[in-house]
């Protein structure tokens, strides 16, 4: 890229970061713990979030979600089935969410009404890593069907995340998952960060996930989970 393009991109990122900091302050003051879910298309973000919303609502926890896609409101409709307030953000070709999209789609919502606000990013293992959305927790998700080498091939987004969630673990045998290789690769790129093995179909890993959310919201660090 030319120097001029790099400079302009840097300005866009600086503007985004500034707004993201303001959003994070607003969420923190309101007590709304905000989680940004990033992954490839088809890693199972929506199924994972749908089960998360349903289980949190069943506990009496107040939750809401914003969901990004280039087109369609399929995911918002799927997530709204949980009973939580959900809004779709269509990026119309943009490959990531930005802080200003979050701000504009909060209109009419009071963050103080939510214990947790989940943001499901556009499916993309590259571009969303550069855009802070004001979240307090960034979760990178990877399905067992995608291959153990993905952390090494997309180090930026894995390194930017606070936590890795492995999805579709019920398919591990069918995909001949090499769990040790996956953990080694994750540890190489994001050392010491928690890894959760989950399945939205069977519920595996959800007790640990919900416990981690509660700990993080309370300001405690539950440390590494998988080994």
Per DSSP, the chain holds a count of helices (H) and strands (E) of 8, 7
Residue numbers of the site for a copy of itself (CB under 8 A)?
1, 4-5, 8, 12, 40-42, 69-72, 74-75, 93, 95, 122-127, 142-143, 145-147, 149-150, 152-156, 168, 171, 174-175
**Residue 60 backbone dihedrals phi, psi, to 5 degrees:** 85, 10
User: Shortest gap between Cβ of 219 and a copy of itself (angstroms)?
Assistant: 33
Cβ partners under 8 Å of residue 41, min gap 6 = 123, 124
Question: DSSP assignment, residue 148?
Answer: T
Tokens of 54: 């349903």
Q: Identify which of residues 45 and 217 has a Cβ nearer to a copy of itself in the complex.
A: 45
Cβ partners under 8 Å of residue 97, min gap 6 = 68, 89, 91, 119, 121, 122, 128, 131, 133
User: Shortest gap between Cβ of 204 and a copy of itself (angstroms)?
Assistant: 16
Contact 197, 205 (CB under 8 A): yes
Q: Identify which of residues 71 and 221 has a Cβ nearer to a copy of itself in the complex.
A: 71
Judging by DSSP bridges, how do beta strands 137-143 and 33-39 pair with one another?
parallel
Q: Identify which of residues 168 and 193 has a Cβ nearer to a copy of itself in the complex.
A: 168
Q: Identify which of residues 122 and 139 has a Cβ nearer to a copy of itself in the complex.
A: 122
User: Shortest gap between Cβ of 37 and a copy of itself (angstroms)?
Assistant: 15
Q: Identify which of residues 135 and 146 has a Cβ nearer to a copy of itself in the complex.
A: 146
User: Shortest gap between Cβ of 149 and a copy of itself (angstroms)?
Assistant: 5
User: Shortest gap between Cβ of 125 and a copy of itself (angstroms)?
Assistant: 5
């Amino acid at each position: 890229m030319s120097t001029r393009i790099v400079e302009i991109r840097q300005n866009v990122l600086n503007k985004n970061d500034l707004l993201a900091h303001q959003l994070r302050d607003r969420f923190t003051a309101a007590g709304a713990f905000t989680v940004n879910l990033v992954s490839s298309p088809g890693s199972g973000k929506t199924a994972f979030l749908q089960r998360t919303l349903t289980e949190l609502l069943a506990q009496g926890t107040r939750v809401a979600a914003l969901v990004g896609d280039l087109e369609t409101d399929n995911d918002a409709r799927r997530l709204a089935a949980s009973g939580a307030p959900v809004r779709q953000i269509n990026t119309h070709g943009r490959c990531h969410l930005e802080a200003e999209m979050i701000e504009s789609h909060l209109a009419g919502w009071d963050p103080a009404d939510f214990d947790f606000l989940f943001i499901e990013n556009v499916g993309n293992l590259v571009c969303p890593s550069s855009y802070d959305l004001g979240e307090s927790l960034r979760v990178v998700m990877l399905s067992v069907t995608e291959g153990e080498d993905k952390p090494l091939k997309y180090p930026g987004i894995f390194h930017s995340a606070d936590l890795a969630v492995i999805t579709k673990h019920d398919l591990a045998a069918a995909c001949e998952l090499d769990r040790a290789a996956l953990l080694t690769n994750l540890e190489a790129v994001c050392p010491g960060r928690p890894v959760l093995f989950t399945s939205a179909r069977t519920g595996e890993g959800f007790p640990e996930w919900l416990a981690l959310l509660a700990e993080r919201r309370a300001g405690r660090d539950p440390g590494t989970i998988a080994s």
